[in-house]
Chains A and B, each alone.
Chain A
Amino acid sequence: MNQDSSKDISNKDLKIGVFLCRCGGNISDTVDMEKLRSSVDAEVVEEFENLCSINGRKIIRDSIIQKNLDRIVVAACSPITHEKTFQKYINPLNPYLLEMANLREQCSWVNPDVETATEKAISLVNASIEKVKYAQPLDPVLRKTTKSAAVIGGGISGISASLSLARQGIKTCLIEEQPTIGGAMVKVGKLFSPEKLAEECAMCLLNPLVNEAVEHKNIRIMTNTTLKSAERRSGNFHLLIESKPRKVIEDRCISCGKCAEVCPVEVKDSWNEDMTFRKAIYKPFAQAVPDVYTIDLEKCKNCGKCQEVCRMNAIDLDMEGEVVPMTVGSVVIATGHKTFDMAKRPEYSYGRHDDIVTQMELARIMGVNGPTQGKLLKPSNNKVPERVVMVQCVGSRDEKPGGRKYCSKVCCMVAIKHANVIKQHYPDTDVIICYTDMRTPGMYEKYFKYAQSNGVRLIRGRPGEIAEKDGIFLVRLEDTLSREPLEIEADLVVLSTAMEPSDGTINVSGLLDVGLTEELFVKEKHSKIKPVATEVDGVYVCGTAQGPKDITDSIVQANAAAAKISELINGGVELEPFVASIDQSKCNLCKKCIDICKYKAAYIQDGMLTVDPISCTGCGACIWECENNAIEIMGQTDEQIIATIDGMLKDKKPEENRIIAFLDSVGYVSADNIGINKISVPSSVRIIKIPSMNRIMPKHILHAFKMGADGIIMGEYPYNPMYSRTKEKIAGLKEELVKNNINPDRLAFYKVYIPYFRGLANKFKEFDGEITCLEKG
């Protein structure tokens, strides 16, 4: 805080300095500077050719020091252009004790007539003078984040994100629900490589990463654990992590496997897609990390046989789970996906025949550590199939109930990969892929061509059913290219099932209060310019938790998420302090503001309502909800808004019309663009910048009309999270006008967009015309 914050002087006694910029004629050619100077009531009024120059800084600084000024108004170009410059120039004053009057973009450039331009310039300067009297010294908000992170989900995305964070020196906890890390990647066996036109061993690529994660001093791997609760507190997250009891002491188990030999309980092995059996004490696969056995709590009968044979005394059947608290600076959601439930599509007969399988089941069958040690054998009879038919888009691109409207993105490549592997090892087996569109963008197209040259056949048509006759499957479709209804006989059918958000993705997002898409994947803040960021600051997403994607894209996202966290930790973020502030003596903790805030900026901590300045945009929607007037928006207090309105309407002549235009930041830039393009705007329009139309309340509108405004227009960008609120508010404001005998047509609303400034200019003209008509009555 600067020294003058302690000064306790009333607004009337403040010494205000007004600095007028001629802007090399840009302003002074149109605005009568002499008249403007004489109309301004301030301690100091100075005029200069180019205020933004270094000489301008000297003039401003010298005046502040010599005349002991308290507040500064700079009447020049748009604050978008030079507010930061002038905030520095008014040092030693606090930067937020400055107001700018936009005489160039929103006056001289849109108002060619000298007389009306000068009138407008006077009111813009007056508005800034009135507003700056209520300015408070503020400090920018600096976000600092603890140098630690939690990564939820131990698949390839989570492992990659953890490694990147750890290598940047960030303490990272990798939380995995299953007894082992590796996720779906360890199960698929082979990975397609479009560059090498070959298939690579998934385990061979993943193992070095897993080993590095295990060895890394900055990574703590917690398997058999889930997120139980999460609370966000000023940039940090307090998490509760629940561990299921493994019932095997990790440090003692040497993974000899004697326990599993004697265990009498057989369980379907989910790691092999239920095609084989394991025991109730098990290790999912040979290379599992951590390399220890685990007891399946649901299936174990507590017979104690394992305990008897364990020479390491590693089994503790009385082991209990625990809940561990943890505080981290950031969270990565890497909770992955699951595959489409085939019970929803009975027409494909899945579950009724062993030889109708999913691509993941085929991956296990062809995996060297799978049920057939990598041999392509039909589950029903262990014979090599004569013809494999693959059905694409099962549950994807499907608008039927339970279907997924999106393309699952990887299935074309997965089908081609498996087709290639089959063709290499079993050239006599015919492979047909039934497709709607083959989607193999970029380099993947080369891999697709490679499959065609391997003799993989493609038929364009989407099968409607799979029947069975005398032990042979009939895949029914239309060959849409030859326009022929077709039945393909097959002895192994493979369904390319859709990728869906996993249960973990949905649960974890709920606990972290992160928004989901229509399809229940984790929603990014903005898919183009804010990828991997979620709606909650400090929470990032990567991999298939965000949407269907392959391993390459998952790793890219994981690295992006880690980089974003690193930005927060190393750089910190400095933000404008125009956020909600709470008067604790008035707050009754009714929580209505918490419910209304789509930015999730408000929360209760230690029995006090707290606003996270990082998340708050100062939109003001909460003020409407607060019955005790306990909330203020810094920089946009009621006094400041009322003062600005007063200034804009000061000295209005009887025959003159004045229209107040409240614009959000998008609308304000759009209005600047009107000026830059020298499109004229009615001289009646006076623009006031407001963070969101939610900030404008009936009292502001009524005050403006009382003070002589003839019309009010409000412009807001429609794609902000609180926009739905704005729409309700406008209707409410109009009702309020009717109650006060003011024609509601005097209030207009307009959707603003930065590039569509001509639309805004037209709207100003149109509204000015309407107001003129109303005046003439």
Chain B
Amino acid sequence: MKTIKLKKESVQLVKDVLKDIKASPDLGIYKCVQCGMCTSVCPGARQTEYDPRDMIRRVLEDDETVIDDDNIWNCFSCYTCNSVCPSGNNASEINQILRQMSIDKGEGMKKIVSFAAYGDSFMELGVGSIPNNFFDVMVKDVGPGYMDLKINIEDIRADLGLGSYILPENAIDEVESILDNSGFKDRLEKIKRCK
């Protein structure tokens, strides 16, 4: 049986969440009444064991194991939970804060390794673009037209009167310099080492 002890226990997790730089100033986690409206509209909850309402409960009850729970990685960040929440709370924002906590602990690194190629594209092209290693999945999802689009993108853009989407060399250098000096590059390398 769980006991809420008389001796004041620290409830640190919710405070850490609210202190996080990503937390909105009016984040209403304390106002949650566990009505489950977030879960009722969550596509992640429909397909997996992810339950945003329960995630919020665990944060409020100082259950730190929620950070290590694989289920928090099943949120699509679609923000529907946020758009329906009647209590001014934002489950997707809290999800992202918990994920960052997991990444900071090290465990979460493994979950984002596969996205590292996105970071590379920023370094190489100066913009975020779908990395090559996702092409197979995209073809499966979107259909063979996806590769046609990829290959002929410059011609299609020219037909539409749009310029090249490849940034000029000096712009790419500048972006890279910013990413390097801001620590992005080091962080990316660190993530890649978790493979």
Contact = CB atoms under 8 A, between A and B. Distances in A.
Interface of A: 347, 393, 397-400, 403, 436-437, 460-465, 476-480, 483, 485-486
Given A399-B28, A461-B36, A485-B46, A478 B86 contact: no
Contact of A478 (B40, B85, B87): B40
Given A463-B40, A478-B51, A483-B54, A437 B33 contact: yes
Contacts of A486: 40
How many chain B residues sit at the interface, stated as a range, is 20 to 34
Interface of B: 28, 31, 33-42, 45-46, 51, 53-54, 80, 83-88
Contact of B40 (A399, A462, A483): A462
A477 B40 contact: yes
The binding surface of chain A is classed by DSSP as loop
B54 to A, nearest CB: 6
Given A347-B84, A399-B87, A461-B40, 11 more contacts: A347-B41, A400-B85, A436-B35, A462-B37, A463-B40, A465-B41, A478-B51, A479-B36, A480-B39, A485-B45, A485-B51
Contacts of A476: 40-41
Contacts of B83: 400
A464 B79 CA distance: 13
Contacts of B28: 399
B41 A462 contact: no
B86 A480 contact: no
B90 to A, nearest CB: 11
Nearest to A396: B86
A460 B53 CA distance: 13
Contacts of B40: 461-465, 476-478, 485-486
A483 B39 CA distance: 10
Nearest to B37: A462
List the 3 shortest-distance A-B pairs measured between CB atoms, nearest first: A478-B36, A464-B41, A464-B40
A479 B36 CA distance: 7
A499 B88 CA distance: 20
A460 B37 CA distance: 10
A662 B105 CA distance: 59
A477 to B, nearest CB: 4
21 contacts: A347-B84, A393-B86, A400-B86, A436-B33, A436-B35, A461-B37, A462-B35, A462-B36, A462-B37, A462-B86, A464-B40, A464-B41, A464-B84, A477-B36, A477-B37, A479-B36, A480-B36, A480-B53, A485-B40, A485-B46, A486-B40
Contact of A480 (B35, B45, B46, B84): B35
Contact of B39 (A398, A436, A485): A485
Nearest to A465: B41
B33 A464 contact: no
Nearest to B50: A485
Contacts of B85: 399-400
B54 A398 contact: no
Contacts of B84: 347, 400, 464-465
B86 A399 contact: yes
Contacts of B88: 399
A607 to B, nearest CB: 51
A437 B86 CA distance: 14
A477 B39 CA distance: 7
Contacts of A483: 51, 54
B177 to A, nearest CB: 42
Nearest to A403: B86
Most buried by B among A437, A478, A479, A485: A478
A397 B85 CA distance: 10
Nearest to B87: A399
Contacts of B54: 483
Contacts of B80: 464
Contacts of B46: 485
Nearest to B51: A483
Contacts of A460: 36
A151 B39 CA distance: 48
Contacts of A463: 37, 40
B36 to A, nearest CB: 3
Given A397-B86, A398-B86, A399-B88, A464 B38 contact: yes
B39 A478 contact: yes
B189 to A, nearest CB: 40
Nearest to A345: B84
A601 to B, nearest CB: 38
Contacts of A399: 28, 31, 85-88
Contacts of A347: 41, 84
A479 B84 CA distance: 17
Contacts of B87: 397, 399
Contacts of A479: 36
Contacts of B31: 399
A267 to B, nearest CB: 36
B164 to A, nearest CB: 41
A437 B36 CA distance: 12
A399 B33 CA distance: 12
A486 B84 CA distance: 17
Most buried by B among A463, A464, A477: A464
Nearest to A435: B35
A384 B51 CA distance: 36
B89 to A, nearest CB: 9
A403 B28 CA distance: 16
B52 to A, nearest CB: 9
A220 B125 CA distance: 82
A480 B55 CA distance: 12
Contacts of B51: 478, 483, 485
A400 B82 CA distance: 9
B151 to A, nearest CB: 39
B32 to A, nearest CB: 11
Contacts of B38: 464
Nearest to B28: A399
